[in-house]
């Protein structure tokens, strides 16, 4: 069943599922306070009884709003500049030096290690080994396919059992080897990181585990893919690469905003309607499926040439990346961090003489609703000069 409402880009996929492709309409739904709830990432299948405080990624309402306000300060441009930029640049330099000494690397693996190391520093997961932590987080996402638009999420009972089994071992290992040691360390010596903040606000261990999983995986999955996609775009468009590498930081970030607009790491956002409201004219119970890739090239907003990289568009701050970082109550608090990490690592790789050896295979993760680039290899034209 498909029909379009006059003058909009709304598609009625079924009686219960509405797909949006219009940026303005999608923003209105995402900003409609208390009218919708998180329906992506299988959030509706996670029992509330397990948590006094639900993880920020899947929570809604006043508690979520206050929690988000408190945590945004860890990812603000000022905090990143004053507290983390030097660490991020040093970490990128160390990883790239190791890659040069090895004669090459897989960009997807390097991006994974780098993004997990940076996220771990901000969250407070600094007690363990980054490589092992990255593997545990990556293993958690090896899940059966899911379809968020179906009431059963497109999974059989056996699929859900398999999903639980696949998640249990890496989740338990993540808790025992990474989260629990960090909790003990922060209880003894609090610092200015997210785990210390959660402890100060009375979070229990299981709640801290889920928050760490949220930040660890969000910081890993989306930033890892965006780093790879940016490198691929630069290799495929030498003129863009030359312009980017010669630019000052404001122009580089403008280019990265355009790249992530065109290549959103999360391609669909899902919201369950709880009540009709201004900006949300749908019946309670309906599922709104926001097609991010299409909203991000909506021609009434992104002109001229919506499908091209153009940094001269007259856009507001909330429009620059389209909906690649979401909007409203669930807008990604780490957007500034993702752009900074990508800028630092991509420049470090190209400054080291990165040369494309093998283009990546393109895959798709149905849980995150995002692309995966794997087997992306580079060598270095000046590897012999590496210290």
The answer on pLDDT for 2 being more than 50 is no
Residue 272 and residue 150 in contact, taking contact as beta carbons nearer than 8 Å: no
Host H or E run for residue 63:
helix 62-72
pLDDT for 43 = 81
The answer on pLDDT for 79 being more than 90 is yes
Pick from 106, 38, 105, 25: nearest CA to 269: 38
The answer on pLDDT for 14 being more than 90 is no
Burial class, 157, CB count within 10 angstroms (exposed 0-12 / middle 13-18 / buried 19+): exposed
The rounded mean pLDDT for the chain is: 90
pLDDT for 385 = 42
Mean pLDDT value of segment 85-99: 97
Q: Which of 36-45, 162-171, 340-349 has the highest mean pLDDT?
A: 340-349
pLDDT for 240 = 97
> Count of residues for the chain?
387
Q: What backbone phi and psi angles, to 5 degrees, belong to 71?
A: -90, -20
pLDDT for 49 = 67
pLDDT for 363 = 94
pLDDT for 180 = 95
Torsion of CA 379, 385, 386, 387, to 10 degrees: 170
Q: At what angle do helices 130-140 and 107-123 cross, to 10 degrees?
A: 100
Cα dihedral 303, 294, 44, 366 sign:
negative
Architecture of the domain whose range is 35-275+310-380: Orthogonal Bundle (1.10)
Residue 287 and residue 149 in contact, taking contact as beta carbons nearer than 8 Å: yes
This prediction's pTM:
0.92
pLDDT tens per residue, range 153-205: 889 989 888 988 888 888 899 999 999 999 999 999 999 999 999 999 999 99
- Under 8 Å CB-to-CB from 251, ≥6 apart: which residues? 311
Query: Three-state SS for 328?
Result: helix
Domain coordinates in residue numbering, the chain: 35-275+310-380
């Amino acid at each position: 069943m498909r029909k379009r409402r006059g003058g909009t880009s709304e598609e009625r996929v079924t009686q219960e599922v509405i797909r949006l492709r219009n940026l303005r309409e999608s923003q209105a739904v995402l900003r409609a306070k208390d009218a919708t709830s998180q329906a992506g990432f299988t959030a509706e299948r996670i029992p509330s009884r397990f948590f006094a405080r639900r993880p920020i990624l899947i929570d809604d309402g006043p508690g979520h709003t206050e929690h988000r306000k408190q945590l945004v300060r860890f990812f603000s441009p000022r905090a990143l500049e004053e507290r983390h930029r030097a660490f991020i640049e040093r970490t990128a330099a160390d990883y790239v030096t190791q890659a040069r000494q090895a004669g090459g690397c897989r960009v997807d693996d390097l991006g994974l290690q780098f993004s997990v190391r940076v996220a771990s520093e901000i969250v407070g997961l600094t007690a363990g080994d980054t490589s092992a932590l990255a593997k545990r987080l990556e293993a958690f996402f090896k899940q059966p396919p899911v379809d968020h638009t179906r009431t059963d999420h497109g999974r059989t009972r056996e699929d859900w059992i398999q999903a639980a089994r696949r998640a249990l071992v890496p989740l338990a290992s993540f808790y025992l080897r990474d989260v629990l040691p960090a909790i003990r360390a922060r209880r003894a010596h609090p610092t200015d990181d997210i785990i210390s903040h959660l402890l100060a606000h009375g979070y229990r261990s299981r709640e801290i585990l889920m928050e760490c999983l949220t930040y660890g995986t969000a910081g890993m999955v989306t930033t890892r893919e965006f780093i790879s996609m940016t490198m691929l775009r630069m290799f495929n468009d030498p003129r863009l690469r030359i312009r980017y590498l010669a630019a000052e930081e404001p122009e580089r970030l403008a280019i990265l905003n355009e790249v992530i607009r065109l290549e959103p790491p999360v391609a669909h956002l899902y919201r369950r309607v709880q009540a009709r409201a201004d900006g949300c004219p749908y019946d309670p119970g309906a599922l709104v499926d926001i097609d991010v890739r299409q909203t991000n090239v909506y021609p009434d907003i992104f002109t001229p040439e919506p499908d091209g990289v153009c940094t001269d568009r007259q856009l507001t701050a909330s429009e620059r990346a389209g909906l690649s970082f979401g909007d409203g109550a669930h807008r990604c608090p780490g957007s500034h961090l993702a752009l900074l990490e990508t800028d630092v690592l991509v420049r470090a790789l190209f400054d080291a003489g990165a040369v494309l050896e093998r283009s990546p295979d393109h895959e798709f993760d149905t849980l995150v609703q995002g692309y995966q680039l794997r087997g992306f290899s580079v060598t270095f034209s000046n590897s012999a000069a590496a210290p």
